[in-house]
Each structure stands twice: as structure tokens, then as C-alpha cells.
């Protein structure tokens, strides 16, 4: 299945709102299932992301505000240098 990820990197204020966007990008990745994709956010050292997409979860990153449903996922990834807001959804399932 195809999953579309969009990353928006920038600075946040103390309430969690963006104060400055540094970069943004989108890509399409392949996963066996939506469930497999979501589960890897709970185990960021998993081989799925480390082998196929090593830039997805940089070493020593932390994930916060993880929310997901049957079609969408969002979270904040902190790699120690800046924060990235990630949005993902199953291709063709966007509402």
C-alpha cells in the first residue's frame, strides 16, 4: 500500500505552535499495511524504517503527540536540532 508523508520542520513556541517554518517536503512510501506503518511509530528502532527509510527516524529522535486513526497519522519528531510535524495518510483514503 502507498502512504503519503508530509514533513514540516520548524521552530515551535511553548504552546506547541509553529513560530517559523524551516522546510517542508512530501513523499510516497510503500508499506505492507497501515497497521504495520503505525506500529513502527511505537518502536522507532524497527527494521522497517531503519532499513527502508533511515532518515524517517534519526538516531536519538523522540516522538510526541502521536495521533492516528484508520486513515491518518500525525506526530511531532524531535531530532535534537529542530522539530518536525509529520502528517501521513493512506493514498486514496483522504477525506
* DSSP annotation string for 1-36: -EEEEEEEEEEE-TTS-EEEEEEEEEEEEE-S-HHH
In a domain, 95, yes or no: no
In a domain, 84, yes or no: yes
In a domain, 48, yes or no: yes
Query: What's the length of the chain?
Result: 95
**What's the pTM value of the predicted model, to 2 decimals?**
0.77
Pick from 29, 20, 6, 8: nearest CA to 87: 6
Q: Could you report the per-residue pLDDT of 8-64, keeping only the tens digit for each? A: 988 877 676 778 888 899 999 888 889 888 888 877 555 555 555 555 666 677 888
Pick from 47, 42, 8: nearest CA to 31: 47
10: containing domain: 2-90
In a domain, 47, yes or no: yes
Amino acid at each position: 500500500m502507498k502512504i503519503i508523508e508530509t514533513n514540516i520542520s520548524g521552530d515551535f513556541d511553548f504552546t506547541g505552535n509553529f513560530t517559523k517554518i524551516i522546510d517542508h517536503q512530501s513523499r510516497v512510501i510503500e508499506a505492507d499495511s497501515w497497521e504495520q506503518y503505525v506500529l513502527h511509530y511505537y518502536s522507532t528502532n524497527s527494521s522497517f524504517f531503519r532499513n527502508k527509510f533511515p532518515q524517517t527516524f534519526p538516531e536519538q529522535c523522540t516522538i510526541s503527540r502521536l495521533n492516528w486513526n484508520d486513515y491518518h497519522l500525525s506526530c511531532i519528531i524531535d531530532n535534537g536540532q529542530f522539530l518536525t510535524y509529520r502528517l501521513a495518510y493512506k493514498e486514496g483514503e483522504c477525506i
